Amino acid sequence: MSVNQTQIEMLRKLLRHGATERVVRILERFRPAEIADLYGYLSPAEQKQLTTVLFERQLAAETLSELPEHILVELLSNLGDGRISQIINRLAPDDAVFVVSKLDDERVEKILNGLTPLQRERIEHLRAYPAESAGQLMTSEMIRIQEDVCADEAIDIIRSLGSTSEFIFYIYVVNETGTFLGVVPLRRLIVASPDCPVKDLMVPDPIAVYATDDQEDVADITARYDLLAVPVVDDNFKLLGVVTVDDILDVLQEEATEDMYLMQGLSEEDRVYAPVTHSVKKRFPWMILNLLTAFLAAYVVGLFEKSISEVVVLATFMPVVAGMGGNGGTQTLTVVTRGIALGELDYNDGMSAVLKQVGIGIIVGAGIGLLTGLVAWAWKGMPFLGLVLFLSMLVNMSIAGLAGAAVPLMLKALRMDPAMGSGVLVTTFTDVSGFLAFLGLATVFIEYLV
């Protein structure tokens, strides 16, 4: 069920008047993720009131774990340590680690002291792994069974542990030392003969990730092999936990958002309902960089002021050349960045990828340039203007292919995110090269254009 504006306004009015029971009746219609969406429409005071209501109905933990990061950080700063400890006690360990990571260092120890010993132990175990790694994403609440257990015994174990396990689509088989041996799909276990050992039912040579692997690599493996969960092991291949599909979906969304934002010079924390001051602070540095690159393009145009003054019609077609180059560069950039993110392309394959994208740029540039030249000729009656447009479009689209492929590969080689600022850099290349090619060629053919 989606949240509509009428419900939002009604909720705000009830919160202002302290009509708690009516607020509860509205919230009963929504799932935790939908309640989390409501926070984006509320003022800080209203958010705090809503959180109080959720605590009274024991819904706070489920809802707060669904909040966007910037709202969660702001809300945690307004909650007492005791309240936060209550929330974290009710969360799955991996979700609890995410919440703890958003707290100031000086608060973390106080809040951890308020947890149950078991929950604190689980959280500290996961926090020992690198940030955004498989170790921090995994849960240990799974069912593992010794290899010599029979199918009927395994089903009894599932019945006894099922209520405490987060995920039971797969049963994980280990030996007496905890080494990971294989996976038994639940369906295969149910239909098996009662006395059949699970080692005969398991899928051997299982796919697994190491606890220190990056979360993006875990997501890639999950997608590639169509898994519902990925086992996590240590360096000795001992089973530590599993990363479940709900966490994988969060990672995919997070990584896609991060890449999309970085390509446009935005911070991942800059969301639709983020505070105005927060958005301005995050965007302003990149806009300064954009301004500098725009002045660079303006400088190139300024070099040809005399040509433009003699053939004013050139000003009409300048945006066409730069705009088409920008679009071509962005298309190439998107394809190459995606290939790097999915592991389809690495630095060793870079030269062939660059040459291919340049070739595509030349072919597309020739087609678009021919069409643009014919339109200019028919419109202005100037065949040499059409020729200049054709040649400049050919040059700019090939440079767009070069920049769109080379920029993310260079960033990757420098151990930087390939998406970081790529859009700004590629647009700069295409604008400058487009103006330089078009106005430079126009200057060469100036006597035929006057």
pLDDT for residue 180 = 92
CA distance 225 to 231: 13
CATH code: domain of residue 183 = 3.10.580.10
165/231 same-domain check: yes
Based on the fold, state whether residues 336 and 416 are members of the same structural domain. Answer: yes
Task: Please tell me whether residues 115 and 151 are part of one structural domain.
Answer: no
Structural domain ending residue among the three candidates 130, 152, 181: 130
- As given in the structure block, the two tokens for residue 25 are 């009746």
Question: Within this chain, do residues 382 and 297 fall inside the same structural domain, yes or no?
Answer: yes
165: in domain:
yes
Looking at the fold, whether 312 and 355 belong to one and the same domain comes out as: yes
Q: Are residues 433 and 304 in the same domain?
A: yes
Co-location of 92 and 217 in the same domain:
no
> Is 258 domain-assigned?
no
For residue 125, what pLDDT is reported? 85
Closest of 336, 360, 362 to residue 347, by C-alpha: 336
Specify if 114 maps to a domain: yes
Chain mean position to CA 365: 32
Residue 408 placed within a domain: yes
269 occurs within a structural domain: no
Contact between 32 and 1 (Cβ < 8 Å): no
Q: How many domains does the chain have?
A: 3
Instruction: Note the pLDDT of residue 390.
Output: 93
Do 406 and 333 sit in the same domain of this protein?
A: yes
Last residue of a domain, one of 83, 101, 130: 130
23: Cβ–Cβ under 8 A, 6 or more apart, which residues? 11, 14, 15, 50, 53
pLDDT at 206: 85
Q: Which of 190, 180, 199, 182 is nearest to 156 (CA)?
A: 190
Does some domain include residue 139? no
Residue 432 is assigned to a structural domain of this protein: yes
Task: State the SS3 of the chain.
Answer: CCCCHHHHHHHHHHHHCCCHHHHHHHHCCCCHHHHHHHHHHCCHHHHHHHHHHHHHCCCHHHHHCCCCHHHHHHHHHHCCHHHHHHHHHCCCHHHHHHHHCCCCHHHHHHHHHCCCHHHHHHHHHHHCCCCCEHHHHCECCCCEEECCCEHHHHHHHHHHHHHHCCCCCEEEEECCCCEEEEEEEHHHHHHCCCCCEHHHHCEECCCCEECCCEHHHHHHHHHHHCCCEEEEECCCCEEEEEEEHHHHHHHHHHHHHHHHHHHCCCCCCCCCCCCHHHHHHHHHHHHHHHHHHHHHHHHHHHCCHHHHHHCCCHHHHHHHHHHHHHHHHHHHHHHHHHHHHCCCCCHHHHHHHHHHHHHHHHHHHHHHHHHHHHHHHHHHCCHHHHHHHHHHHHHHHHHHHHHHHHHHHHHHHCCCCCCCCHHHHHHHHHHHHHHHHHHHHHHHCHHHHC
Which residue range forms the structural domain that includes residue 171? Answer: 144-253
Residues ≥6 apart with Cβ < 8 Å to 298: none
Q: What's the CA gap between 8 and 42, in Å, rounded?
A: 8
> Do 118 and 189 belong to one domain?
no
Determine the Cα–Cα distance for residues 429 and 423; give it in Å rounded to an integer.
10
Q: Are 83 and 53 in contact (CB under 8 A)?
A: no
- Please indicate, yes or no, if residue 136 is contained in any of the structural domains: no
Question: Do 243 and 338 belong to one domain?
Answer: no
Q: Rounded to 5 degrees, what angle do the CA atoms 409, 414, 419 make?
A: 50
Specify the CATH number for the domain of residue 90: 1.25.60.10
Contact 419, 257 (CB under 8 A): no
| Burial bucket for residue 172 (CB in 10 Å: 0-12, 13-18, 19+) | buried
- Cβ burial of 169 (10 Å; 0-12, 13-18, 19+) is middle
pLDDT of amino acid 245: 82
Does residue 396 share a domain with residue 284? yes
Q: Tokens representing 414?
A: 């420098």
Domain boundary among 104, 130, 156: 130
The CATH number covering residue 411 comes to: 1.10.357.20
List the structure tokens of 107: 């608060």
**203: which strand partners?**
183
What is the distance between the alpha carbons of residues 271 and 40, in angstroms, rounded to a whole number? Answer: 10
Pairwise CA distance, residues 32 & 434, whole Å: 51
pLDDT values of the chain reduced to their tens digit, one per residue, 450 residues: 556 777 778 888 888 877 888 888 877 777 777 777 777 778 777 887 887 777 766 666 677 777 777 777 777 887 888 888 888 888 888 888 888 888 887 888 888 888 888 888 888 888 888 888 888 888 877 888 888 889 898 888 888 876 666 667 788 999 888 899 999 988 888 888 888 988 889 888 888 999 999 888 888 888 788 888 899 999 999 999 898 887 887 777 666 666 666 655 555 555 555 566 766 777 777 778 778 888 888 888 888 888 888 888 888 888 888 889 888 888 888 888 877 776 666 666 778 888 888 899 899 989 998 999 999 899 988 889 999 999 999 999 999 989 888 888 888 777 777 766 677 788 888 888 889 999 999 998 888 887
Do 186 and 101 lie in one domain? The reply is no
As a whole number of angstroms, the distance between CA 112 and CA 115 comes to 5
Report the alpha-carbon distance of residue 248 to residue 223 in Å, rounded: 9
| Per-residue pLDDT, 387 | 92
Please answer whether residues 406 and 383 qualify as being in contact, where contact means their C-beta atoms are separated by less than 8 angstroms: no
Structure confidence at residue 57 (pLDDT): 67
